[in-house]
Structure 1
C-alpha cells in the first residue's frame, strides 16, 4: 500500500479530478491526503517533505499557457530537493495534459478520456492504455483485476468472415471491452462437423459462417492486440463435445454457455429431443468443470423470452445453477437478462433478479462461486436507434443496482441490423458512461420496499414450484437434476411457456399476463391471475380429470 498526496496547483480551484482519484486510491487500501485547491508550489513542496508520500497527484484545469511556469517551478524543486523517486501524476484537460507530456518526471498523465477502469488499473499497478498482452487471460482473473468495475462483454459476428475478422481487430484496438462473444451462424452451430448437411442458402444467417478450425484460429489471432480481449463462442447444438474441444483449443474459450433445457426441438435450434439435450448439456457442464472452464447456463431468460411468468424464471435460474454445481462446476456465470418481457416495470424486474440472486448464491460454498452477469433484453430495444441508445443506458443503469461482475452489452443497433464494429464500440462506450456515473454513490433501488416485497414473494413462489417437482417424483434420487424428471415436467406443463403452444415436446397451455409490471400466471377458468399454488393445483386437477375421462 502507498501514501498518496494530492492538490490542485497554482490558482486552479477545480479539484474534482484530484479528489476522485484520491478516493479511488483510498478504496484500494492506500493512505491519502488532500491539500486542497489553488495550492502554491512552495506549499506543495513543503507538504511533500513533511509527509513523504510515495505518490503525488496534481491537477490543473485552466489555460495551457498558465501551467508551464508552474511545472517549470515544480521541476526545479524536484531536481534541487532530489524528489525524483516520487511517483508524479498529472491530471488536466487535454490541452493542459499535452503541455504536461513535455515534463519527463510524470509517470502518468490523465487527460479526461480515461474511464474508471483505466484509473483503477493504474492504481493497482496495471496501465490499460499501455497494455501489451499482460492482461489476465481467463475470466475469473479478469474480473478480479477490475472489480468493482465490471468486465465488459459484447456479441459480434457478421455474415462475412473477412468482415468479422477485421472487425475483431478494430474492436480489440479500441480497448472498450474485455470479452468478445463470437456469434457463429446456425449452419456452424448445428453442422460444423457435418458440412454436407448445411443449407448454404442460409450461410451467414444469425452470425459469421465459420467452416474450418482455422477460421476460429484466425479470429483468435485478430484479438491479440489492443487490450487483448478474451474470446468465447456460442456452443454447438450437435456433436457438442467435439465443438467444445475445438473452442478450447482454438480460441481458449473464456467460458462455456450451455442451456439446460434448450437448443433442441423446443426452440428449433437443433434436432435433439429434450431428454437427449438435457443429458448432453449436463455432461457438457461436467466436461468443462473437469477442465476448470467456467460455465454459464443460459436457461432462465429463455423461459421469460417466451412469456413464462416470473416464478418460472426464478425457479429455472436456481435449477440451472443447481445443475451446474451438481456437475462439478466451480466458477459459475449467472446471467441476469433484464427487460423480459419488455413491458415489465423496472422495479418488478429488479425484484425478479434479486430473487434469482438470493436463490443462486445460496448454493455458494468453497467449491462453487457465482458471478453476476447482466444484460438488456434484446426485444426491449427500439428499431429507432436513438431511442435504443437511451433504452440501453436505462437498462444498464438498472442493472448496476445488483453490482455485476460482467456487463453483457447488447448493441443498440440489434433491432435494426447486426452490430458492426463501430456499433459495438459505441454501445460499449454508452455502457461505460453509465458505469462511470453509477459505480460510486448510486441510489440503492434494492432497498425499495415494493422491490423487497416482490423479491420475497417470488422466492416463496419459486420454492412452491421446486418443492412440487420434488414431491411428484419420489422415485428419483434427485428430481432437480434428473433429466427424465426435467423432461417430464416440461411435457406436463409444470414448467411451461405460452410460446410453446403446439410444440409436441411441451404442454404449451400456460397463460400469463402483465399486471402492475409483473409477469403473472393467469387462469382462463377463473378469469384472473393466480398464485403458483393455484396454478399447479389446477394443472394437476386437470390431469386427474383427464385420466378419469379416459
Structure 2
C-alpha cells in the first residue's frame, strides 16, 4: 500500500482530473490525501514533508507558459529539501504536459490522451518510477489485470499480405487494443494444407491470403511493438487439428474460436457434413482444453444471423457452453452478439443476452470459468459511415450493461469496406470513449421490468426446447452433447432457421417474425406468434402425419 498526495498547483482551480485519479488510486487499495485547488508550491512542499507520501500527483490545466515558474520553483524545492526519493507525477492538458516533460523529476506525465485502462495499469505497477508497462501474453492474465475495464479486440485482415503486415504494426504501435483477430481468406481456412485445391481467382476474398507458416510468423513479429497485442485467428474449416497446431506454434493463438454446428455444408464454408463437423468441433475443443487454451464456441449468433427465433439463440448459446465444459475446456469465452437481427429492440436484445448469461454461467465451477465477450451485430451498421459510428457507440453502450471481460469491436466501416488500420484505430477509440463513460455509474438497464420479464420468459422457453431434446432422444446417454442427436435435431427442424430453407442438411421450415422488438417463432397456420411448446407440437404433428402417410 502506498500513500498518494494530490493537488492542483498555482492558481489552477481545475481539480476534476486529480480527484478522479485519486479515486482510481483508492480503488486499488492505496491511501490518498487531496490538498485541493490553487495550492501554492510552498504549501505543497510543506505537506509533502509532513505527510511523507510515496507519490505526489500535481495537476495544472491553465496556460502552458504560466506553469513554467511554478515547476522551476518546485524543482528547486525538491533539490533543496532532498525530496527526490518521492515519485512525482503530473497531469494536465497536452500543451501543459509538453512543458512538464522538460522537467526530469517527473516519472510519469498524463496529458489526457491516455485511456482508463492505461492509468489503472500504471497505478497497479509495483514500481511507479518505471514508465514502461509489461503486457501479459496470456488472455486470462490480461483480462484479470484490467477488469472491470474490458480488453479490446478487433478483426483485421486485408486482401494484401504486405498491407496486413504494415497494418498490424501500426495498430500495435497505437496501443489501442489488446487482441488482433486475424481474418484469413476462405482459401486459407479451407485449403491451407491442400493449396492445389485453391481457386486463386478468390485469393484475398474475405481476408488476408496466408499461404505459409512464415506468413503467420511474420504477422506475429509485426505485432511485437506498442502494447504487444495478443493475436488470434479463425479456425480452419478442414484439417482443423493441423490448423490449430499451426496457430499455436506461429501466433501463440490467444484462444480458439470454433462453432458447434457450422463451418460445413450448412453455411457453405466447407465440404464437411454436419455430423462430421460437430464431432470434429468437439474434438477440437478438447484439444485446446488439454493445452489450457481458452475456447470460444461461436455458435448462437450463427442461428440468429439466419433469423432463428430468440429461444433457439438462447438454447444454442447454452449448448455451446455445455459441450465445451463436458469436453474439458477450463476457460470459456462466451460471445454475445447484439443487434441480431438488426430490427430487435434494445430492451429485448439485452433480455436475450441476460437469459444466455444466466443459463451459461449456471455451469460455472472451479474447473469451468466463463468470460463474457460482447460485440455489435454484423449486419447492424449502416453503409453511411457517420451513422455507423453512432450505431457502434450505441451498441457498445447497451453491451456494457452485462459488464463484459472482452469487447469485440466491429469496425464502423464494415458495411462499406473491410477495415484498414486507420479504421480499426478509430473504431477502437469510439468504443473506448463509450467504455470510459460507462464504467462508473451507468444506469442499470438489466433491472428494467420489461427486460427482466423477457429474460425469465426466454429462460423458461429455452428449458422447453432443452427438455424436448432429452425426451425425443431417450436412447442417447446425453442428448445435449450427442453429435447424432444434434445433427438429427437440425435435420428434423427441432433446431432450425429460416435461412436454411432449401438446404438438404436442414429442415429450413421455421418461420419467424419481429414482434414488439422480439424475434419470435410464427405459425402461418395460426396466423400468430407461437410459444416453444406450440412450435414443437406443430412441427412434430406435421412430422407424424408424414410418417403415417
TM-score, length basis structure 2? 0.98
1:27 aligns with 2:20: no
Tell me, what secondary structure is at the counterpart of 2:29? coil
Task: Name the counterpart of 2:63.
Answer: 63
Whole-angstrom CA distance in 2 between matches of 1:132 and 1:68? 26
Cα separation, partners in 2 of 1:93 and 1:424, compared to 1, 3 Å: same
Give the aligned partner of residue 165 of structure 1.
165
Q: What is the correspondence of 1:357-368 to structure 2 with a 5 Å cutoff?
A: 357-368=357-368
SS in 2 for 1:440: coil
The answer for the alignment partner of 1:459 in structure 2 is 459
* SS of aligned partner of 2:333: strand
- 1:154–1:408 CA contact under 8 A, matched in 2: yes
**Structure 2 partner of 1:18:** 18
Aligned residues of 2:185 and 2:204 also touching (Cα < 8 A): yes
- Name the CA shift for 1:132/1:119 in 2 (closer, same or farther; >3 Å): closer
> Counterparts of 2:381 and 2:168 in 1: how far apart (Å)?
24
Deviation, structure 1 residue 34: 1.6
Partner residue in 2 for 1:200: 200
Is the CA contact 1:8–1:59 (under 8 Å) kept in the aligned structure 2?
yes
In structure 2, the residue matched to 1:372 is 372
Secondary structure of the residue aligned to 1:378 is: coil
State the secondary structure of the residue aligned to 2:88: strand
Alpha-carbon shift at residue 40 of structure 1 (Å) = 1.9
Deviation at 1:46, TM superposition (A): 2.6
Aligned pairs for 1:468-483 (under 5 A) are: 468-483=468-483
Work out the CA distance in 1 between the residues paired with 2:431 and 2:123: 22
Matched, 1:137 2:137: yes
Q: Distance in 1 between matches of 2:132 and 2:331?
A: 27
Match of 1:112 in 2: 112
Cα distance, 1:480 vs. partner?
A: 0.4
- 2:83 aligns to what? 83
Instruction: Tell me the residue number matched to 2:521.
Output: 521
Tell me the residue number matched to 1:276: 276
Secondary structure, in 3 states, of the residue corresponding to 1:260?
coil
Distance 1:133 1:100 in 2: 21
Residue number in structure 1 paired with 2:441:
441
Question: What's 2:393 paired with?
Answer: 393
Decide whether the 8 Å contact of 1:512 with 1:521 is kept in 2: yes
How many matched pairs?
A: 549
Task: Give the SS at the match of 1:136.
Answer: coil
Distance 2:474 2:432 in 1: 50
* Contact 2:108–2:131 (8 Å) recurs in 1: no
1:354 aligns with 2:315: no
Distance in 2 (alpha carbons) for counterparts of 1:532 and 1:185? 38
Shift of 1:174: 1.1
Supply the distance in 2 between the matched residues of 1:368 and 1:442 (Cα, whole angstroms): 29
Partner of 1:489: 489
Q: 1:127 to 1:331 in 2, by over 3 A?
A: farther
1:98 aligns with 2:98: yes
After superposition, the C-alpha distances for 1:33-55 in whole angstroms (9 at most, x for unaligned) are: 22211122222223222322211
Structure 1 residue 133 displacement after superposition:
8.3
Q: How does 1:20-419 map to 2 (within 5 A)?
A: 20-125=20-125, 134-419=134-419
Matched residue, 2:543: 543
Q: Does 1:2 align with 2:2?
A: yes
CA distance change for structure 1 residues 205 and 131 in 2, over 3 Å: closer, same or farther? Answer: farther
The CA distance in 1 between the partners of 2:80 and 2:347, in whole Å, is: 61
- Deviation track 1:66-90 (CA, whole Å, cap 9, x = no partner) reads 1122222222322222221111111
Cα distance in 2 for residues equivalent to 1:542 and 1:481 = 26
Structure 1 contact 133–228 (Cα < 8 Å) conserved: no
Which blocks of at least 5 consecutive residues in structure 2 are unaligned? none
Offset, 1:536: 1.1
Q: Distance in 1 between matches of 2:45 and 2:538?
A: 79
Q: CA RMSD in A?
A: 1.5
User: Conserved in 2, the CA contact under 8 Å of 1:338 and 1:395?
Assistant: yes
* Contact kept? 1:132, 1:227, Cα under 8 Å: no
Name the TM-score, length of structure 1 as normaliser: 0.98
Residues 410-429 of structure 1 aligned to structure 2 (within 5 Å): 410-429=410-429
Q: Distance in 1 between matches of 2:339 and 2:126?
A: 36
* 1:468-497 CA distance string (max 9 Å, x none): 101111111111000000101111111100
**Distance of 2:259 and 2:503 partners within structure 1:** 18
Report the alpha carbon displacement of residue 442 of structure 1 after superposing the two structures with TM: 1.1
